[in-house]
Amino acid sequence: MSTRKGHISVNTNDIFPIIKKWLYSEHDIFVRELVSNACDAITKRETLARTTGAETPEGKVEVLIDKDKKTITFSDNGIGMTEEEVEKYIAQLAFSGAEEFVKKMKEEGESTDEIIGKFGLGFYSAFMVADKVEVNSLSMNEGAKPTKWTCDGNTDYEFSDSQKSTVGTEITLFINEENKEFLDAWKTRSTLTNYCDFMPYPVVLKDLAEIERIKAENAKAEKEEDKKPVPENDVINDTEPLWKKDPASLTDQDYKDFYKKLYPMDPEPLFWLHLNVDHPFTLQGILFFPKLNPNKPLNESNIKLYCKQVFVSDNVKNVIPEFLALLKGAIDSTDIPLNVSRSALQGDPNIKKISNYIVKKVAESLKKRFKQDREAYNKSWEDIGLFVKYGVVSDPKFDELMRDRVVFKNSNDELVTLGEYAENVPEKYQEKMKGKVVYFEEASSDANLREQLKAEGIQAITTDNYIDPHFMQHTEMQKQGDEAIKYQLVDNAIEDLLETENASEDDMKIKDLFFELLVGKKDENNPSQMEVEIKNFKNSSTAAYFKVDEQMKRFAQMTKAMGNSAFDMPSKKTLVVNPSHNLVKNAFKLSSSEDKKELASKIAHHIQDLAAISGEGLTDEKRKDFVSRSQDLMSELSNLAL
């Protein structure tokens, strides 16, 4: 047997340490690199065969685990290599580019952690898990001789004769002690499933120990029916994922089954979007609109990124805008670098184009659903509303396409757009309501006031405290002039919209009384001190309600939603008292008698508590005070009755 030794001509000694350092946190990536290389070799053979008319076997990649020998072998029936090609492409060419790259990055003071895959170094990921690597290859070139290349993880290597008789390449990894977990079939299977689930050629996993065990058991079996099938053709991947197929040939069930394969624990998706473009970039994929689970934290790794059916990453922040992170699915593009890192994506010129395209297609899909099936659109709003509003606020293109398709629940529990809201304003309030949208905060607004407006035919849209303050601020800034919009909290809008009677002299005395009983003395040094106002609404059933400084409240909500508590200041509140209400009248009458003034104070505090409960509610401490005061008040009133 003839042998020939060689040396990788790399002047820097940093190459192998960089390889191992880069792979340290995700060393299982060697599986992706070696299977991906094998698929590329098969593609090359098929391409050449088409030009020459030669016949080729059906492409296949085998992964053989031999636990006794502590080896994993990756075999393909691809193009194969001659000794000269092995030396050129594995031993020299990859490192020549890498050396220059390392030097340049060092000069610029940048990290050298991201070079695998860029210069053909993916093969060397094998050395993260192996003490030694052997390559046996036979080129498809007529008359080629097989060759074996051996390297133990440094810059020296050896060529020797090979006994390989079939065209293709075998790469055998002698697994080191630290990574012996890969010799267990379950570990390698899960890694293959993660990275190679949609590779374009069948990937077969063979566990030699398991195969031999079953064969031995079958040999002992007396009956044919007692024999088990030998797992020698265990294909772990789907070679034609759904995104590669013509959408016209697919049914809804096909999409649902594919979603279940990707996310087995999820309920069925609401709907989906099939992407397919080949100019000015290539992109295929399927994005699903999932049902949201409020009890499950949002996952930023919902969308899987592929390059030529090779799994690259589930970190797609720079490909998919943040507001679309709620979507799930897969996208495949040859214009996205195989070795994806955040810095690589940010620097790639196609990424922004792809991102803009996806935003546009998602918006167009939603617009079409809004127009063609409004009922289905409304039914899905609970699940899609958050990301649609987030997209409108954060992306100008999405805003342009979707702002007028944002819907809110009105006082009749109907979902309406802002345009539809304006169209439904009663004629008698058209002038007062021009450009105005009354909103009701489900957790903190006074429901009695909403019902009072509803009785007049004025609707209020329901908002949350998380995304809607941002959305309202955004649309107020965007819509100016004749299209200007002004949102007004129901607690503040009611006095502008409904008729009130002029305050009498007694009404002003009631105001002074309530301020005295509830606040005491005016403190000019306390800007958050509660104020009291009198509003005499016609036909009002509300004794009192709170209104707050709306702009300050919205600002506090937005800063809180962004996790900033530095501006968590108390909002100034105003208690608006209705002097026509019997509770208020009775408190005023009782206050004129010195021995009943304490009872008047208790009633006034009860009115204040009811106003707080109807709005934002009571804190734990104030709730205890409310219960105590209510018991005292009920006891005193019952004693009077007796």
- Tell which residue, 214, 210, 170, has the closest CA to residue 72: 170
425 assigned to some structural domain: yes
Count CB neighbours of 211 within 10 A.
Answer: 16
CATH number of the domain enclosing 575: 1.20.120.790
> Residue 398's pLDDT is what?
94
Residue 440 bridge partners (DSSP): 462
Q: Which two tokens stand for residue 155?
A: 């810059």
Its pTM stands at: 0.78
Q: Could you tell me if 319 and 305 are in contact, meaning their C-beta atoms sit under 8 angstroms apart?
A: yes
Q: CA-to-CA distance for 59 and 56, rounded, in angstroms?
A: 8
Residues 210 and 282 in one domain: no
Residues 28 and 118 in one domain: yes
First to last CA, the chain: 118
Residues 116 and 230 in one domain: yes
Residues 335 and 470 in one domain: no
Q: Could you tell me if 160 and 174 are in contact, meaning their C-beta atoms sit under 8 angstroms apart?
A: no
Distances in Å between the alpha carbon of 312 and those of 23, 40, 242, 298?
14, 15, 18, 21
Residues 94 and 160 in one domain: yes
Residues 527 and 485 in one domain: no
Q: Which two tokens stand for residue 45?
A: 């053979």
> Residue 223's pLDDT is what?
84
Q: CA-to-CA distance for 360 and 634, rounded, in angstroms?
A: 62
Q: CA-to-CA distance for 364 and 28, rounded, in angstroms?
A: 39
393 assigned to some structural domain: no
Count CB neighbours of 191 within 10 A.
Answer: 19
290 assigned to some structural domain: yes
Q: Which two tokens stand for residue 338?
A: 């195989």
- Tell which residue, 203, 206, 178, 207, has the closest CA to residue 193: 203
> Residue 155's pLDDT is what?
75
> Residue 569's pLDDT is what?
55
CATH number of the domain enclosing 476: 3.40.50.11260
Residue 168 bridge partners (DSSP): 138
Residues 298 and 434 in one domain: no
- The structural domain count of the chain equals 4
> Residue 189's pLDDT is what?
94
Residues 102 and 8 in one domain: yes
CATH number of the domain enclosing 196: 3.30.565.10
Pairing assessment for the beta strands 461-463 and 415-417 based on DSSP bridges: unpaired
> Residue 561's pLDDT is what?
61
**Helix (H, G, I), strand (E, B), or coil: what is residue 223?**
coil
533 assigned to some structural domain: yes
Residues 213 and 329 in one domain: no
Residues 255 and 206 in one domain: no
* End residue of a domain, out of 332, 353, 375: 375
Q: Is the peptide bond before 280 cis (omega within 30 degrees of 0)?
A: yes
Q: Could you tell me if 571 and 552 are in contact, meaning their C-beta atoms sit under 8 angstroms apart?
A: yes
Pairing assessment for the beta strands 3-7 and 156-161 based on DSSP bridges: antiparallel
Count CB neighbours of 249 within 10 A.
Answer: 7
Spans of the chain, pLDDT less than 50? 11-12, 23-24, 93, 96-98, 101, 105, 110-119, 339-343, 566
> Residue 346's pLDDT is what?
56
DSSP category for residue 623: H
> Residue 229's pLDDT is what?
85
* End residue of a domain, out of 472, 497, 522: 497
Q: Which two tokens stand for residue 113?
A: 């952690």
- Tell which residue, 203, 263, 264, has the closest CA to residue 236: 203
Q: Could you tell me if 47 and 154 are in contact, meaning their C-beta atoms sit under 8 angstroms apart?
A: no
Q: Could you tell me if 148 and 134 are in contact, meaning their C-beta atoms sit under 8 angstroms apart?
A: yes
392 assigned to some structural domain: no
CATH number of the domain enclosing 333: 3.30.230.80
401 assigned to some structural domain: no
Residues 259 and 229 in one domain: no
Residues 148 and 276 in one domain: no
φ/ψ of residue 108, rounded to 5: -90, 0
Domain that holds residue 425: 406-497
225 assigned to some structural domain: yes
400 assigned to some structural domain: no
> Residue 70's pLDDT is what?
96
* End residue of a domain, out of 188, 215, 235: 235
Count CB neighbours of 371 within 10 A.
Answer: 10
**Helix (H, G, I), strand (E, B), or coil: what is residue 228?**
coil
